[in-house]
Structure 1
Amino acid sequence: MAKRTVTVNSSGRAAVAPDVVRLDLRVGHDADDVAAALAGASEGVARVGTVLRARNVANADIRTLDVTVSQRWDSTGAPVGFTAQQRLTVTARRIESVGTILEAAAAAVGNALLVDQVRLDVADRTDGLRQARDVAFADARDKAEQYAALSGARLGAVLEVAESGAVPMTAFASVAASRQASGGMPVETGDLDLTAGVTVTWELEAAE
C-alpha cells in the first residue's frame, strides 16, 4: 500500500539592514565617428574611476558591465554621428559615502554621467537567508499539520525537502536631493527583505 503523504509549499522572509549600495552608472560621449566616441567614453570612465578610487572604492568593487555604440540622427533622419556608452556597476561599502561618490563622479564628467539605479544590498546574505529558511520551514510544518488533522492523520517523517527559491527582494535606495551639513546627498536605507521558498513532503501516519 502506498504511503499517504502531504506536500506543501511555503515561503519565509527576513528583514536585514543593508550594508552596501550597488550603483549602476553610464558614461557617454558623442562624436563624429565610432573611434572618437569610444575614446571619449573611455576617457570619461577613466576619470570616474579615478574619483571613485580616491574615495576608497576598491578596484574589485568597480566593474564594467558593457560598452555600446549607437548612431545619432537629426530631426530630418540624417546621420550626424555616434554615441558610445560604457556601463559600470560600483559597490559602495560605506552607505553614507554614496552621495559624495555620485557628486564626485558627476563633477568629473558632467552631464556625460547617467545614474541608472541605486540599489540596496547585503554583502553577506548567509544569516538573513538562514532566518528566512527557518521561517519558511516553520510555516510549511504549520500548514502540513493542519492538513494532516483535516485528513484524520498526524505528521510523520519528512520525506523530501526542496528549496523553491531563495532570492533577495528588489530594493532601491532613496537618494535625497538636499545636502546635509556633512555634504553629499543622504541615502535613506530602510530594511531589505530576503525571501526563501521551500517545498516539503511529510509522511502521514494514522492518528492515535
Structure 2
Amino acid sequence: MPKRTVTVIGTGRAAVTPDVVRLDLRVGHDAADVASALSGASKGIAAVGTVVRSQGIADADIRTLDATVTQRYDNTGTAVGFTAQQRLGVTVRRLEAVGSVLESAAAEVGNALLVDQVRLDVADRSEGLARARDAAYAEARTKAEQYAALSGSELGEVLGVTEAGATPLPAARAMGLAAREMAASMPVEGGDLEITASVTVTWELR
C-alpha cells in the first residue's frame, strides 16, 4: 500500500540592506566602417574604465558585458554607416559615490556615455537567503501540519525537499539616459531589499 503523503509549498522572505550599486554603462560610436566604429567604441569604454578606476573602483568590480555592431540607415532606408557599442559593468561599493562615478565618466566621454542600468544589490546574499529559506520551510511545515490535522493524521518523516528557486533582488532599472544628466540628481538611498525563497516539501502522513 503506498504511503499517504502531503506536499506543500512554503515561501519565505528576508529583508536585506543593500551595500553595493551595480551600474551598466554603455559607450557608442558611429563611423563609416565597422573597424572605425569598433575602434571608437573601444577607446571610449577604455577611457571610462580608466576614470572609474580613478574613483577608487577596484579592477575586480569592473567587467566587460558585451559589444555589438549594427548598421545605420537614414530616413530613406539607405545604409550610411555603422554603430558600435560596448557595455561595462561597474560595482560601486559606496552608495554615496555613485554620482561622482557617473559624473567623472561623463566628463571623460560626454554624452556618448549612457547608463542602461542602476541596481541596488548586496555583495553577499548568503545570510539573507538562509533566513528566507528558514522562513519558507517553517511556512511549509505550518501548512502541512494543518492539512494533516484536517485529515486526522500526524506528520511523519520528510520524504522530499525541493527548492523552487530564490527570487533575486529587484530587477534592474533600464535607464538609457545620459550619465551627465543622471549624475546631477543621483542620491542613492539604500532602504531595504527583499530576498524570497520558495520550497516544496513532502511529508509522510501517519
What CA distance in whole angstroms lies between the structure 2 residues aligned with 1:105 and 1:163? 42
What CA distance in whole angstroms lies between the structure 2 residues aligned with 1:143 and 1:46? 55
Partner of 1:204: 205
**AA matched with 2:144:** A
Does the CA contact (< 8 Å) of 2:102 and 2:183 recur in 1? no
What CA distance in whole angstroms lies between the structure 1 residues aligned with 2:32 and 2:83? 9
> Shift of the alpha carbon at 1:171?
4.5
Question: Is 1:27 matched up with 2:27?
Answer: yes
Partner of 1:130: 130
- Pick closer, same or farther for the CA change 1:22–1:11 going to 2, 3 Å: same
Question: Is 1:11 matched up with 2:15?
Answer: no
- Pick closer, same or farther for the CA change 1:30–1:78 going to 2, 3 Å: same
> Shift of the alpha carbon at 1:66?
1.0
Partner of 1:101: 101
What CA distance in whole angstroms lies between the structure 2 residues aligned with 1:80 and 1:177? 31
Partner of 2:117: 117
Partner of 2:37: 37
Partner of 1:50: 50
> Shift of the alpha carbon at 1:30?
0.8
**AA matched with 2:64:** T
- Pick closer, same or farther for the CA change 1:177–1:58 going to 2, 3 Å: closer
Normalised by the length of structure 2, the TM-score is: 0.91
Partner of 1:169: 169
What CA distance in whole angstroms lies between the structure 2 residues aligned with 1:136 and 1:87? 37
Question: Is 1:186 matched up with 2:187?
Answer: yes
> Shift of the alpha carbon at 1:112?
0.6
**AA matched with 1:120:** L
**AA matched with 1:185:** M
**AA matched with 1:68:** T
What CA distance in whole angstroms lies between the structure 2 residues aligned with 1:94 and 1:123? 11
What CA distance in whole angstroms lies between the structure 1 residues aligned with 2:74 and 2:103? 31
Give the number of aligned pairs: 201
> Shift of the alpha carbon at 1:155?
1.1
> Shift of the alpha carbon at 1:54?
0.3
> Shift of the alpha carbon at 1:177?
5.7
Is the partner of 1:188 in helix, strand or coil? coil
CA deviation profile, 1:116-165 (whole Å, cap 9, x unmatched): 11011111111000000010000000100110011011111212111111
CA deviation profile, 1:85-123 (whole Å, cap 9, x unmatched): 001111111111111111111111111111111011111
- Pick closer, same or farther for the CA change 1:193–1:111 going to 2, 3 Å: same
5+ long unaligned stretches in structure 2: none
CA deviation profile, 1:162-197 (whole Å, cap 9, x unmatched): 111123132557999685xxxx73112221111111
Q: Which runs of 4+ in 1 moved over 6 A?
A: 173-176
5+ long unaligned stretches in structure 1: none
What CA distance in whole angstroms lies between the structure 2 residues aligned with 1:14 and 1:193? 6
CA deviation profile, 1:40-87 (whole Å, cap 9, x unmatched): 101101110111000111111111111111111111221211110001
What CA distance in whole angstroms lies between the structure 2 residues aligned with 1:65 and 1:194? 25
Percent identity of equivalent pairs: 69
Does the CA contact (< 8 Å) of 1:171 and 1:192 recur in 2? no
- Pick closer, same or farther for the CA change 1:172–1:96 going to 2, 3 Å: farther
